[in-house]
Amino acid sequence: MILVTGATGTNGVELLKALAAEGEMARALVRDPEKATSLLPEDTELFRGDLDDPASLAQAMEGIEKVFLLCPVSPKQPELEANVVDAARSAGVRQIVKFSVIHASPDSSSTLLRWHAAAEEHIRASGLAYTFLRPNIFMQELMRQADSMRSRGEFYMPFGPEVRLSFVDVRDNAAVAAKVLCESGHEGKTYTLTGPAALTFPEIAQSFSAAAGKQIRHVQVPMDAWKQAFASSGAPDWLVNQVVELYETFVPANSLVTDTISRLLDRPARTIDAFANENAAQLK
């Protein structure tokens, strides 16, 4: 059986759908089973627990062969991920598939990237078999501004028109994760997951415009203004600062394009055009 943490998040939900489609038995570690029931496939086994509760993790690991480790962003993230790794090692779990981030490094200027690198190192030191998945920024993040694109025909980012990012669809992340969890041969591997092209925000705006049948523009805003708007939305200071640090690592490192998704799945990675067409109803 496979244990999935971060099960009710965007990537976790898609992974559990993919595992269900493969007929794999999965257990979701959740804090609110009632909420999880409405989000996850009906055959998913729900286990109430918390990454900050080692006792619940020990119970959740019973009968588990593989763990998918996805930790929601938290000021305690290094400790929470270490809790999962330690519980998995104590329970005799065979493999951890860690959902990391592109360019995770102990030398990064981004705190979040350093945290992910620390978790990867803790997993290596544990002696457990592992696979690291390092995705780029998600296409789904763009839809956080669907209301603005629909009502004003604009979306706002603190990046200029020259910046290129290889956005990846979370469903491709999930398909790769499911493949890695369901078959052998991926132990000791690190997979960097990107979309099929590094696009500028004006190019992305063109894709959304074509899908919506109206003009949608990318508007660059100063980083300080974006930071203030994010804080005004209720985000805590630690999260605002982390996201700003992360965004500042995007240029030009996150223009990297890999063939990992197409190579592992024997099909092309999803394009921004396809994503925009699938979400056109939210933009009109």
pLDDT digits (tens, 9 = 90+) for 115-159: 999 999 999 999 999 999 999 999 999 999 999 999 999 999 999
The reply to whether 151 falls in a domain is: no
CB distance 46 to 33 below 8 Å: yes
247 assigned to some structural domain:
no
Rounded to two decimals, the pTM is: 0.95
pLDDT of residue 252: 85
Query: What count of other Cβ atoms lies within 10 Å of the Cβ of residue 237?
Result: 8
Residue 177 belongs to a domain:
yes
Q: Is residue 244 part of a domain?
A: no
Q: Is residue 62 part of a domain?
A: yes
**Number of independent structural domains in the chain:** 1
Which CATH number covers residue 52?
3.40.50.720
Residue 38 in any domain: the answer is: yes
The token duo for 110 is 């981004």
User: Is 63 among the domain residues?
Assistant: yes
User: What pLDDT score was predicted for residue 250?
Assistant: 85
| Residue numbers of the domain that contains 118 | 2-136+168-194+256-270
152 assigned to some structural domain: no
Q: Rounded mean pLDDT of 185-205?
A: 97
pLDDT above 90 (res 249): no
Predicted confidence band at 57 (pLDDT cuts at 50, 70, 90)? very high
* Closest by CA position to 176, among listed 164, 189, 167: 189
- The mean pLDDT value for 186-213 works out to 98
What average pLDDT score do residues 233-246 get?
Answer: 92
28-42, 170-184, 261-275: which range is least confident on average?
28-42
Residue 103: its pLDDT value, please? 96
* HEC-encoded secondary structure of the chain: CEEECCCCCHHHHHHHHHHHHCCCCEEEEECCHHHHHHHCCCCCEEEECCCCCHHHHHHHCCCCCEEEECCCCCCCHHHHHHHHHHHHHHHCCCEEEEECCCCCCCCCCCHHHHHHHHHHHHHHHHCCEEEEEEECCEHHHHHHHHHHHHHCCEEEECCCCCCEECCECHHHHHHHHHHHHHCCCCCCEEEEECCCCCEEHHHHHHHHHHHHCCCCEEEECCHHHHHHHHHHCCCCHHHHHHHHHHHHCCCCHHHCCCCHHHHHHCCCCCCHHHHHHHCHHHHC
The average pLDDT across 202-220 equals 97
